């Protein structure tokens, strides 16, 4: 399938304010959870200075597919609207530059292993003493305290350990991870919420605070109400594949050509599905099928009946009938199908944006829209050290001699 044709991003209204204009973020984070968090802040108008290691930068630059010499598609996806300065933190001169950036920042975001920031003199206690209004945010796999705090961890490991993975997949197979890095991305959004709350609190209380978030904690949250169900009942939830333990029929079905998914969350929807989509009013009138509780008891036979009927016509036929009847249903689309779909075009989720070496690159916008303070116009993720000199001069006020000295001793890599 051909990739969709993408139009340039639609500019934001001229003169519209930005929600986080005037807020500066010293972003020491890398990979996904931290960078996505700071990208959300950047999209809302914060000035995000991405502080990268001088040799190679964020390791996410090296993934595939590659975009230019020092970027990748995954890196572009997590680092829009930022400026990059490349610093060698093994040199005291480099650490001094990092401290100067933090001193002029409202927020610090980091997701190093435990103790790394303290080793460089960039821990919360040291920096907050000099900048009491600083909001300092640490993201890690298992938190900064406790017996697990020294462990390295990644998204799929926390999916496994939190119980989340045990809920995914077919009942007769081992638990399955979610394909996308949903714990990293959920950690990013949760952390962003905390930072926005801390900014609001700072306006009232006049001081910053320390924020900590862990992938494991987020993964536990993502278990959702199934966790509380277990704590209340003592019954351990199990995998239920594409079906649902709570509503019937909520499941994937094969049609005559391609699969679809139906969600009947209540009795009204079931009645519409049976009578107006499947042309089987007798199913709606069956006393054993009339309530959710009854349909759960007869799950297997109902799924078999619905499956046989849906297999008699193609997916487009059934989706049109479901839409007319007010029954929630959708295509089980591939990424290519989803990105080329009408709803994707209607929502204007995709665009192209200028890139300093590649001409243009694709872009996927954030899901929310703000009428009063529209999101910033998208700017492609920075090249490594692309803004080093500008940050030194414009943000920190370094003169020619200072900039030249940092360039000469390798403490800062210039783009």
Beta bridge partners of 238: none
pLDDT score at 183: 98
Q: What is the mean pLDDT of residues 370-397?
A: 98
> Which tens digits make up the pLDDT trace of 287-331?
999 999 999 999 999 999 999 999 999 999 999 999 999 999 999
Given a cut of 70, whether residue 1 has pLDDT beyond it is no
Taking a C-beta distance cutoff of 8 angstroms, is the pair 103, 121 a contact? no
> Across the chain, what does the average pLDDT equal?
97
Catalytic site residue from 27, 184, 246, 377? 184
Instruction: Tell me if the domain spanning 24-224+374-413 has CATH number 3.30.565.10.
Output: no
Q: What is the mean pLDDT of residues 47-74?
A: 97
Given a cut of 60, whether residue 372 has pLDDT beyond it is yes
Q: Report percent pLDDT > 70 for the chain.
A: 100
b/e code 191-200 from CB counts within 10 Å (16+ = b): bbebbbebbe
> Which tens digits make up the pLDDT trace of 199-221?
999 999 999 999 999 999 999 99
Q: What is the mean pLDDT of residues 186-208?
A: 98
Both tokens assigned to 37: 């968090």
Given a cut of 90, whether residue 2 has pLDDT beyond it is no
Active site residue 184: yes
Q: Report percent pLDDT > 90 for the chain.
A: 98
Q: What is the mean pLDDT of residues 56-80?
A: 97
> Which tens digits make up the pLDDT trace of 12-25?
999 999 999 999 99
> Which tens digits make up the pLDDT trace of 258-275?
999 999 999 999 999 999
Q: Where in the chain is the domain with CATH 3.40.50.10540?
A: 24-224+374-413
Q: Where in the chain is the domain with CATH 3.30.1540.10?
A: 250-339
Domain at 250-339: CATH code: 3.30.1540.10
> Which tens digits make up the pLDDT trace of 84-128?
999 999 999 999 999 999 999 999 999 999 999 999 999 999 999
Q: What is the mean pLDDT of residues 377-402?
A: 98
pLDDT score at 3: 87
386 phi and psi, to 5 degrees? -55, -35
> Which tens digits make up the pLDDT trace of 22-49?
999 999 999 999 999 999 999 999 999 9
Q: What is the mean pLDDT of residues 340-350?
A: 96
């Amino acid at each position: 399938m051909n990739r969709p044709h993408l139009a340039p991003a639609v500019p934001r209204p001229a003169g519209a304010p930005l929600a986080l204009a005037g807020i500066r973020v010293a972003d020491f984070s890398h990979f996904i959870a931290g960078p996505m968090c700071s990208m959300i802040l950047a999209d809302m108008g914060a000035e995000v200075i991405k502080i990268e290691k001088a040799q190679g930068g964020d390791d996410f630059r090296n993934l595939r597919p590659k975009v230019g010499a020092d970027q990748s598609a995954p890196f572009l996806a997590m680092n829009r609207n930022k400026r990059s300065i490349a610093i060698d933190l093994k040199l005291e001169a480099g650490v001094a530059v990092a401290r100067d950036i933090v001193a002029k920042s409202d927020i610090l975001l980091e997701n190093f292993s435990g103790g790394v920031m303290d080793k460089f003199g960039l821990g919360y206690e040291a920096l907050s003493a000099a900048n009491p209004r600083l909001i300092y945010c640490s993201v890690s796999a298992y938190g900064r305290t406790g017996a697990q705090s020294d462990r390295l961890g990644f998204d799929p490991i926390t999916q496994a350990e939190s119980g989340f993975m045990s809920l995914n997949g077919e009942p007769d197979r081992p638990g399955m991870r979610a394909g996308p890095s949903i714990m990293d991305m959920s950690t990013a959004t949760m952390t962003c919420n905390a930072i926005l709350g801390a900014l609001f609190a700072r306006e009232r209380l006049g001081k910053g605070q320390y924020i900590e978030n862990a992938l494991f904690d987020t993964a536990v949250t993502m278990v959702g109400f199934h966790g509380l169900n277990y704590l209340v009942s003592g019954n351990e939830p199990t995998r239920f594949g594409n079906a649902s333990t709570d509503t019937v029929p909520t499941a994937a079905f094969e049609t005559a050509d391609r699969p679809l998914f139906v969600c009947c969350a209540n009795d009204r929807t079931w009645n519409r599905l049976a009578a107006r989509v499947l042309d089987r009013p007798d199913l709606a009138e069956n006393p054993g099928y009339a309530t959710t509780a009854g349909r759960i008891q007869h799950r297997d036979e109902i799924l078999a009946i619905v499956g046989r009927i849906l297999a008699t016509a193609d997916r487009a036929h059934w989706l049109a009938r479901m839409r007319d009847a007010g029954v929630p249903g959708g295509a089980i689309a591939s990424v290519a199908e989803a990105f080329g779909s009408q709803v994707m075009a209607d929502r204007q989720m995709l665009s192209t944006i200028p890139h300093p070496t590649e001409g243009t690159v694709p872009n996927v916008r954030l899901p929310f829209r703000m009428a009063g303070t529209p999101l910033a116009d998208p700017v492609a993720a920075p090249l490594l050290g692309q803004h080093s000199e500008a940050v030194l001069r414009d943000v920190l006020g370094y003169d020619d001699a200072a900039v030249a000295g940092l360039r000469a001793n390798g403490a800062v890599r210039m783009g």
